């Protein structure tokens, strides 16, 4: 698989279960990496429910053709974005089988006029079936980040995701526990609606880095629905600071992956 010209690292955001906050994580991680000073892009590969256009306030964007074989990406809040949702209706894509979805997505990734990027964050469709497997093999991934809630059924699916990436030799950069606990907007009371520390324990069990625990908060949902993520509209909030921490840990994990692959290739040459 060829690396993408001008893009240093491609990171897949994956979850076994739907609705656990994969797209929310993709957008916030991308914005947090940009705030750390990196050039960042987002690729929304979630053919069943592309929600990145709404989350970045880009619902009206349509890519323009550049020459015969390329198209423009959108710009929002200092990052670039491309989405399958800019091009086709999700009802049409919902019936695609693995090879067709993988073909459309490799075309989307290869034919977008990406600027030079340090990180391209890819929002994969939820699940661990054929489509996810094919995509993980078609896109030149540096590594994957698994998003889960602390709930048992989400964790069981997260474990399937971990196994899938291990099977195709994609390094797992870490696990993010989203909706870790609920914070009441009236009294700030903290409640573990989906259980306590399930994601953290799963990360420990599989020896993968734990990148952070993100609370369930109504402001987060409202911000994403309005296309103005909190990292942009309220950069000093506790939520934004948590994401900066996740971004910093991700940078460290990507660097350590690179170092380990360098040492493997050095020892291979010996």
Least gap, CB of 64 to ligand ATP (angstroms): 27
The yes or no reply on residue 20 touching ligand ATP (CB under 6 A) is yes
Return the number of the residue (18 or 227) whose C-beta is nearest ligand ATP.
Answer: 18
21 assigned binding-site residue: yes
Query: Which residues share a beta bridge with 221?
Result: none
Least gap, CB of 130 to ligand ATP (angstroms): 17
Return the number of the residue (49 or 98) whose C-beta is nearest ligand ATP.
Answer: 49
- Is residue 131 within 8 A of residue 174, CB to CB? The reply is no
Which of 12, 34, 45, 51 lies at the binding interface for ligand ATP (CB under 6 A)? 51
* In the complex, residue closest to ligand ATP by CB: 18
19 assigned binding-site residue: yes
Q: How are beta strands 172-183 and 143-148 bridged, if at all? A: parallel
Which of 14, 58, 158, 179 lies at the binding interface for ligand ATP (CB under 6 A)? 179
- Phi and psi dihedrals of 182, rounded to 5? -100, 135
Which of 89, 167, 205, 221 lies at the binding interface for ligand ATP (CB under 6 A)? 221
Query: Distance between the two ends of the chain, CA-based, in angstroms?
Result: 24
Interface segment toward ligand ATP; rule CB under 6 A; list 17-25, 84-92, 94-102, 248-256: 17-25
Within residues 106-135, the interface with ligand ATP by CB under 6 A covers 126
Which of 194, 134, 193, 132 minimizes the C-alpha distance to 162?
Answer: 132
Least gap, CB of 147 to ligand ATP (angstroms): 7
Alpha-carbon distance of 266 to 270, in angstroms, equals 7
User: What residues line the site for ligand ATP (CB under 6 A)?
Assistant: 15, 18-24, 46, 49, 51, 126, 178-179, 214, 216-217, 220-221, 224
Q: Which residues are annotated as a binding site for ATP?
A: 16-23
């Amino acid at each position: 698989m060829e690396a993408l010209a001008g893009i240093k690292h491609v990171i897949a955001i994956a979850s076994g279960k739907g609705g656990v906050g994969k797209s929310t994580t993709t957008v916030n991680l991308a914005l947090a990496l940009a705030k750390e000073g990196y050039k960042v892009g987002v690729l929304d590969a979630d053919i069943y429910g592309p929600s990145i256009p709404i989350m970045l306030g880009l619902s009206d964007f349509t890519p323009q053709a550049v020459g015969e074989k390329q198209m423009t990406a959108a710009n929002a809040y200092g990052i670039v974005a491309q989405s399958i949702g800019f091009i086709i209706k999700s009802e049409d894509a919902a019936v695609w089988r693995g090879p067709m979805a993988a073909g459309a997505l490799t075309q989307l990734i290869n034919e977008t006029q990406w600027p030079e990027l340090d990180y391209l964050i890819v929002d994969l469709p939820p699940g661990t079936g054929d489509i996810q497997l094919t995509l993980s093999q078609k896109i030149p991934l540096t590594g994957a980040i698994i998003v889960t809630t602390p709930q048992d059924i989400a964790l069981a699916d997260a474990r399937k995701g971990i196994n899938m990436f291990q099977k195709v030799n994609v390094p797992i950069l870490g696990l993010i526990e989203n909706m870790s606990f609920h914070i009441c907007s009236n009294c700030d009371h903290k409640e573990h609606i989906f259980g306590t520390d399930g994601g953290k324990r799963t990360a420990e069990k599989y020896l993968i880095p734990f990148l952070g625990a993100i609370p369930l908060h109504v402001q987060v949902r409202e911000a994403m629905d309005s296309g103005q993520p909190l990292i942009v509209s309220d950069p000093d909030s506790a939520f934004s600071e948590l994401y900066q921490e996740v971004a910093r840990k991700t940078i460290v994990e990507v660097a350590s992956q690179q170092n380990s692959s360098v040492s493997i290739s050095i020892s291979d040459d010996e």
